Amino acid sequence: MDRFDICIAGAGVVGLAIAHRLLEAFPKASIVLTEQESSFGQHTSSRLSEVIHAGIYYPPGSLKARLCVEGKEALYAFCDKYRVPYRRIGKLILSNSDCDQAISKLAHNAKSNGVDDLEYWAEDRIKVAEPAVRAAHGLYSPSTGILDSHQYMQTLLTLNQQQGMLYAPRTTITSVHPSEQGFLVKTKIDNRSKTETYRFNSKWFVNSAGLWSQHLAATIENLPASSIPKHFLCKGEYFDYRGRNPFSHLIYPLPDPELAGLGIHSTQDLSGQLRFGPDAEYVEEVDYQVTPDKRSTFAQAIRIYFPSLAADQLVPAYAGIRPKISGPNEKPGDFVVSCPQDSGIPGLIQLFGIESPGLTASLSIGSYVSASIKELSL
């Protein structure tokens, strides 16, 4: 039977970045990265805003805050080194209220997270920079950017394969059995014409299965159910903007603490295509349909900061789903990276609730996992 040092489940951006950091730390390690789909990044990692977040919103001391701020710098450096297209486009967070304490609270929160480049912009300055926007004042974040996330994932995969990683698409892990040698991993390989089974041993097992992390965790023999966090799906839909893009920056409303996302904001890809979203709706199953009927609700939310928008300029685009560990009206959960000491199973590392800013934080999540394995000596 084949033996690997490390098996990673899930070739989303996080699984790919974990493999990259592990190969930097352990160049001789044998790593297999399995993916249930025919290609990498088909789920949350390709259904997102493609924003490199600065680290403004997350509670100080949280993993989200720390890994976002570290990950942002690591991601810009990676993009420079490997020529992944990106732009430090900058972002404006707008408020329409004259005496708005929320803006200063947000600036204070960002500072506590180590984000010390925010600028306060008054109405006049906003008008000059973004004539199409209406706002009383705002915060400008110069270190927020956008990137070509597909190119980023493709680069990670190519580098990993050049360093000897085995990439196994169409390979679903069906169960994991801890043993004295590590783990016996059982998989199902979808070879189009027929389905085969394949088993192998791995010393370490990293569950980076995104929306299916809890489902995969439940197949790990002897893993106490109490160590698996709760699981919620929170859908976010996007609409493309038909017309000339009037914005030079990313435009965000103030986040509503009642909402599960950052509010319906503008984002744009590197070609300048403007889109709005995502909204936030808890759902029961993974379904990426966009609801055209949401057009007028979107238009209403966007007109608060972009008054000249007409609803028929919004065209249904795509949807993504946030893997949340907290439900509606609950305090937002942090990233969970569960190590062997948490589960009591040697060699087991699991990631849960890797919602936004998971793209930004991907390389620092990779370093975090790699450091856990280093500590425990491979």
Ligand X SMILES: Cc1cc2nc3c(=O)[nH]c(=O)nc-3n(C[C@H](O)[C@H](O)[C@H](O)COP(=O)(O)OP(=O)(O)OC[C@H]3O[C@@H](n4cnc5c(N)ncnc54)[C@H](O)[C@@H]3O)c2cc1C
Distance CA 175, CA 196 (A): 15
Q: Do residues 212 and 53 make contact, with C-beta atoms less than 8 angstroms apart? A: no
55 lies in the binding site for ligand X (CB under 6 A) = no
Distance CA 227, CA 223 (A): 7
Dihedral sign for Cα 121, 124, 130, 135, please. positive
Min dist. Cβ of residue 377 to ligand X (A): 26
Q: Which stretch binds ligand X (CB under 6 A): 49-57, 86-94, 105-113, 118-126?
A: 49-57
Name residues contacting ligand X, limited to 195-214 (CB under 6 A). Answer: 208-212
216 lies in the binding site for ligand X (CB under 6 A) = yes
CB-neighbour burial class of residue 102 (10 A; exposed 0-12, middle 13-18, buried 19+): middle
Q: Which residue of 8, 48, 260, 325 would you call a contact of ligand X, by CB under 6 A?
A: 48
Distance CA 42, CA 56 (A): 28
Stretch 287-306: interaction string toward ligand X, x if CB under 6 A: --------------------
Interface with ligand X: number of residues (CB under 6 A): 41
Please report how many Cα atoms fall inside a 13 Å half-sphere around the Cα of residue 130, on the Cβ side: 28
Question: Would you state the torsion angle of the CA atoms of residues 121, 122, 124, 126, taken in this order, to the nearest 10 degrees?
Answer: 40
355 lies in the binding site for ligand X (CB under 6 A) = yes
Min dist. Cβ of residue 286 to ligand X (A): 10
Residue closer to ligand X, measured from CB, 10 or 347? 10
Q: Are strands 3-9 and 195-207 parallel, antiparallel or unpaired?
A: parallel
Min dist. Cβ of residue 352 to ligand X (A): 10
115 lies in the binding site for ligand X (CB under 6 A) = no
229 lies in the binding site for ligand X (CB under 6 A) = no
Q: Which stretch binds ligand X (CB under 6 A): 48-56, 92-100, 110-118, 246-254?
A: 48-56
Residue 7 backbone zone (phi > 0: left; psi -120 to 50: alpha; other: beta): beta
364 lies in the binding site for ligand X (CB under 6 A) = no
Q: Do residues 22 and 370 make contact, with C-beta atoms less than 8 angstroms apart? A: yes
Q: Do residues 51 and 76 make contact, with C-beta atoms less than 8 angstroms apart? A: no
Min dist. Cβ of residue 117 to ligand X (A): 18
Kindly provide the b/e burial profile for residues 258-296, where b requires at least 16 CB atoms within 10 angstroms of the residue's own CB. eebbbbbbbbbbeeeebbbbbbbbeeeeeeeebeeebbe
Residue closer to ligand X, measured from CB, 134 or 188? 188
Q: Which residue of 74, 217, 254, 359 would you call a contact of ligand X, by CB under 6 A?
A: 359
Stretch 26-45: interaction string toward ligand X, x if CB under 6 A: --------xxxx---xxxxx
Q: Which residue of 143, 144, 214, 360 would you call a contact of ligand X, by CB under 6 A?
A: 360
Q: Which residue of 55, 353, 357, 366 would you call a contact of ligand X, by CB under 6 A?
A: 357
Q: Which stretch binds ligand X (CB under 6 A): 11-19, 81-89, 106-114, 303-311?
A: 11-19
53 lies in the binding site for ligand X (CB under 6 A) = yes
Q: Which residue of 6, 8, 13, 139 would you call a contact of ligand X, by CB under 6 A?
A: 13
Distance CA 67, CA 48 (A): 18
Distance CA 214, CA 210 (A): 9
Min dist. Cβ of residue 131 to ligand X (A): 25
Among candidate residues 110, 91, 82, the one with its CA nearest the CA of residue 17: 82
Residue closer to ligand X, measured from CB, 334 or 355? 355
Among candidate residues 317, 305, 352, 284, the one with its CA nearest the CA of residue 50: 317
Can you give the binding site for ligand X, defined by CB under 6 A?
Answer: 9-15, 34-37, 41-45, 48-51, 53, 172-173, 208-212, 216, 236, 278, 320-322, 354-360
